[in-house]
Amino acid sequence: MPLSLPFDNSYARLPGRFHARLDPTPVASPGLIAVNDTLAQELGLAPQTLRSASGVQMLAGNAVPEGAAPLAQAYAGHQFGGWVPQLGDGRAILLGEVIDTNGTRRDIQLKGAGPTPFSRRGDGRAAIGPVLREYIVSEAMHALGIPTSRALAAVTTGEAVLRERPLPGAVLTRVAASHIRVGTFQYFAARGDTEALRLLTDHAIARHYPQAETALDLLNGVIAAQARLIARWMGVGFIHGVMNTDNMTISGETIDYGPCAFMDTYHPDKVFSSIDQHGRYAFSRQPDIAVWNLAQLASSLLPLINDNDEAAVETATAALRGFGDLFRAEWLSVFRAKLGLTTAEPEDADLISGLLDRMAFARADFTNTFRGLADDSARDQFTQAEAFDQWATAWQARLARDLPDHQARLRAASPAYIPRNHRIEQAIQAALTGDLTPFHALNAVLARPFDDQPKQAAYALPPRPEETVTRTFCGT
Ligand code: AMP
Ligand code: MG
């Protein structure tokens, strides 16, 4: 008997050109990898139901729950700056939307659920490695307090997917505030479909920016949300790796964990993605790329901003110019907190950059340097300790002008644990031999990133040279 979930599918009610309606393609032999109990409860779903035989069938796409309206969303996008007029969900199927226990509408989507009309040459499937990677990293981001899509569950399919070699297939159940992207707006703008743009704008406003009244309000809302998001990425050393416009949400949540990575040693130019040969999406370029993407959103919205083209461009350009100040303010607030500061002084930006510059020079571990500010171990990250000491003298003087008891504030602003690439790799390699223990152990540590967890100290260590991961791969 198929499960019944309390769906209310607003995206499915949009006109037919927004999506392709189809069911997931069943798989040979579903097996449970993980269910996220806390998230299930937040969604009003019983974890034991998801873990049951019929639950696992549903999570694998073999049984469509009652009330679902499965569909693949249409969207377009710029990939590495190149325009692709039609992308769309090529391997993801939205089962539907539920209203969670906080009253928020959430998408439930199966990623790796089989081919769709948008699959192009792809097989519609996902390999277990990228599924586990997205599960680990998206849940770690959430625990770090960073807006993100979530992982509700992961299952194996009992089928092989062919990549460079055959790999076990898996399906991730992704939960998001919505899957509407910059590329969704671009899709309709490129087709001159102003009616669809208007419907999409109303839909996005109702879901994500209820105070907004106009397309310009929506644009401003997304600009502010993305400025906030990217400052938070940078506060934990996160590199998204594939900030194409189809991977940038309107909600302001992080989405699409393909070749992403957290830095171990800090460098502003760091790139991990094997497909990012020119460093387009390098760590410190992320705010610039965000503006570039937001400009694509702005130009998609022009016909709704003003009937007069010139006036529309002028208004949208002014809105985009706001990004720089918003980002700067968010970045300062993130990094002031990481230095234990609660007040603002004009020289704070120099103090922050002073530390980051020294860290880059010393190849200091990003996470352990900031965490180490709370217990004086930051100094160990610097081969030339005088460089750090000189900075620390200025920092101490600045701290003395702020509130006392900065230790607890430092620990609350800088995690001890991030999903380090070598740990993710170890969890994936073990899973490929059938051992899920490292995957579960890693998730448990990352669920409490700001707690000291002395027994788990090994998870805070950077990779040994032979463990270092220098490249990450797009999970297709
Ligand atoms: P991504 O790089 O994951 O953002 O995906 C870019 C586009 O390629 C999206 O339209 C995806 O749906 C599509 N895609 C990625 N992998 C596959 C696959 N294995 N089969 C079909 N479509 C895919
Ligand atoms: Mg994508």
SS3 assignment for 347-359: CHHHHHHHHHHHH
Final residue in a domain of this structure, among 278, 308, 336: 336
**Does residue 257 lie in a domain region?**
yes
Strand extents, DSSP E, 92-247 = 92-99, 105-111, 126-127, 150-162, 166-176, 238-239
**Does residue 221 lie in a domain region?**
yes
- Kindly identify the ligand whose nearest atom is closest to the C-alpha of 73: 1
Q: Say yes or no: 30 and 149 in one domain.
A: yes
Residue 474 CA: nearest ligand 1 atom is 2
**Does residue 112 lie in a domain region?**
yes
β-pairing, 150-162 with 31-35?
antiparallel
Token couple for 7: 């769906």
CA–centroid distance, residue 299 to ligand 2 (Å) = 21
Final residue in a domain of this structure, among 274, 301, 336: 336
Identify the sign of the CA torsion 264, 80, 150, 172: negative
Q: Lowest mean pLDDT: which of 277-281, 293-297, 298-302?
A: 277-281
Q: Which residues have C-beta within 8 Å of that of residue 74, sequence separation ≥ 6?
A: 17, 18, 19, 20, 86, 88, 118, 184, 187
For residue 214, what pLDDT is reported? 98
Residue 124 CA: nearest ligand 1 atom is 20
Q: Say yes or no: 52 and 147 in one domain.
A: yes
Q: Say yes or no: 34 and 108 in one domain.
A: yes
**Does residue 154 lie in a domain region?**
yes
Q: Say yes or no: 37 and 163 in one domain.
A: yes
Q: Say yes or no: 39 and 162 in one domain.
A: yes
pLDDT of 475 higher than 60: no
| Nearest protein Cα to ligand 1, atom 7 | 87
pLDDT band at 3 (very low <50, low <70, confident <90, very high): confident
- The boundaries of the domain holding residue 331 are 182-336
Q: Say yes or no: 133 and 228 in one domain.
A: no
Burial 150-161 (b: 16+ CB within 10 A, else e): bbbbbbbbeeeb
Looking at the structure of the chain, the number of domains it has is: 2
Of 269, 303, 353, 107, which Cα lies nearest the Cα of 201?
Answer: 303
For residue 25, what pLDDT is reported? 98
Q: Say yes or no: 33 and 171 in one domain.
A: yes
β-pairing, 77-79 with 126-127?
unpaired
**Does residue 285 lie in a domain region?**
yes
The fraction of the chain above a pLDDT of 90, given in percent, is 95
Q: Please list the active-site residues.
A: 246
**Does residue 309 lie in a domain region?**
yes
Q: Say yes or no: 191 and 222 in one domain.
A: yes
- State mean pLDDT over 183-198: 98
| Nearest protein Cα to ligand 1, atom 8 | 90
**Does residue 468 lie in a domain region?**
no
Q: What is the DSSP letter of 124?
A: S
pLDDT band at 338 (very low <50, low <70, confident <90, very high): very high
Its pTM surpasses 0.95 = yes
Of 461, 382, 377, which Cα lies nearest the Cα of 418?
Answer: 461
Q: Say yes or no: 301 and 158 in one domain.
A: no
Q: Is the CB of 122 under 6 A from ligand 1?
A: yes
Q: Say yes or no: 218 and 199 in one domain.
A: yes
Q: Say yes or no: 160 and 197 in one domain.
A: no
For residue 331, what pLDDT is reported? 98
pLDDT of 365 higher than 90: yes
Residue type present at position 225: A
Q: Is the CB of 365 under 6 A from ligand 1?
A: no
| Nearest protein Cα to ligand 1, atom 11 | 90
For residue 329, what pLDDT is reported? 98
- Kindly identify the ligand whose nearest atom is closest to the C-alpha of 88: 1
**Does residue 246 lie in a domain region?**
yes
Q: Say yes or no: 220 and 189 in one domain.
A: yes
- State mean pLDDT over 433-458: 98
Final residue in a domain of this structure, among 336, 366, 400: 336
Where is pLDDT greater, at 393 or 4? 393
Burial 128-146 (b: 16+ CB within 10 A, else e): bbbbbbbbbbbbbbbbbeb
Q: Is the CB of 88 under 6 A from ligand 1?
A: yes
